[in-house]
Amino acid sequence: DWSVTGVQTCALPISTVVARGADIFRSEQAECASCHTGAALTDGDTHDVESGPKGAHPRTFDTPSLRFIARSAPYFHDGRYATLGDMLAGSDGSMGHTSHLSPEDRAALQAYLETL
């Protein structure tokens, strides 16, 4: 059995879980790889992550590299997410799409991100 951030997630080998997370990361449904591409895992572009109040002028931010993301908490441009799990659960639509993922798939995506 393995866990992510202390939450029991499944009895699969971690390599299987990480591979599932990589598949989710690259999927058209999650869209993570649409901005986090190439060896540096960034498209080098800026994007509006819809973090301001509704109707506010768009605020754009550089796409950060995901290298070493597991050691760069807190997350999001303003640090509102203390953990990767919090960010994956709370940032749907502003950075990819994760709300449709099961808790197990979000945990697999997190496990993959922690290997970068």
- What pLDDT score does 112 carry? 93
On whether the CB atoms of residues 33 and 26 are closer than 8 A, the answer is yes
Taking only the tens place, the pLDDT of each residue in 95-115 is 778 888 888 899 999 999 999
- What pLDDT score does 7 carry? 43
- Residue ranges in 1-116 assigned as alpha helix (H): 14-26, 84-90, 103-113
pLDDT averaged over 10-residue windows placed end to end, the chain, 116 residues:
46 81 90 84 79 70 86 86 89 79 90 92
